[in-house]
Structure 1
Amino acid sequence: MDKLPRYIEVSSTLEFSRLVCALERAPRISFLHEHEGRKILSVQMDILKEKPIVYYTPLENHGHYLCYALKGDNEQSEIVNSTSDTSKLYSPIVRIKSLPDTLRPGNGTPDRYQPIELEDLASLAKLTYGFEESPFPLFLFPHSDKWLVGVFMNFTEEGTSYFCHVVLDNEPQKPFLKFANNTSEPSFVNSPSEHGYSYVKIIKLKDTHPLVDYGHLQN
């Protein structure tokens, strides 16, 4: 059985910066290495049937840290060499000279996330209940003429993995989902700054996620 990683590209360096920095107790480490002939930054976010699921973005500049900041409703991302500005978040960049064979891309297997369509964004937000740390991010990507936003999860370590999602007619233009533990409806916002609410970050992929079993999507 193929246990090699699957690499999935996010739509921009900003999306990757949000993935590794925003709403984390401490920013995740970013790994710099070659992939298909180019330098990328990568981070493992899941395991599907013993295969690491790695998200990445092509590296545009060189430096020691991936910097992420929120100023008002505007996000900023850049590669820097210092962590001197304490108002910003920094993901350390670890440079890998050569990947071992076990971290090179797999040749693909039939293992897929099984889709579970939820009725509304409120149901999707409720999946974050009970997380002591920051909940797993929501991933956003196009499928056919719709947009899917959801979370990848499994209910048992050895069991089937699922993509719990909501189908949207249009692409959300704001990168966070805001919600409260009451009857108010969740909403997409630019910044997780308003007190009294919970937030989940949204990460947009470059293309349709390759590991969802779309043949079992509900009509």
Structure 2
Amino acid sequence: MPLDDETLTRLREGILAKRDYAGYFNWDIDKDLAEWGVVQELCASLDATGASFFDDFALRGRGNDPPDLEAVTFDGLKLAIEVTELVDGEAIKQDKFVKKLPNPTWQDKLAIPTAWDKNLLSERLQNLITSKDGKFLKLLGGPYPGGYCVVVFTDEPDLTPENLQELLEQEKFTAENIDRCFLLVGYQPFQEHLTYFELTLQRKVNK
């Protein structure tokens, strides 16, 4: 049954009061653990939708990256996985400022600016993909016959699965070396597993 506006507002109030802005994974405390957690959540979501294609994943650790993790595809091939985060840095700064206020209210938290639209989302995602694409020749521990996979995680409050479904419709991204790229969305109320989108990749056309 659809939730009414008052209930949705109360849910959002509760969520924002209990965690940092875009803070499903705390990247500041342990980046390795956050990256491992992202891939673990993706694996669970892929398995729940019948789309799993790898398992036996493990961190390579600081100093042995890129890639952040290695895995094995179901046909026994080694797979390289890089993880990155899509987040509004300015909103995080404001969130930290609000937390320093003597008596911050949930209205203060809701005032954190978010202006995600189709163009901004596409631009930010392409920048992340291009950055990870450029690391292909620097991958350690190869070769990786199972391919090169990038996982983008976001916990932006306004980038809900419903909004992303609309914003990502017919969107294509350019990559020369990445074989598959997933956008994994932070926890939403009443979900059994996180929502993911596999982004459509295309090779750059040389003119």
The answer to whether TM tops 0.5 is no
TM-score (norm 1): 0.27
| TM-score normalised by structure 2 residue count | 0.28
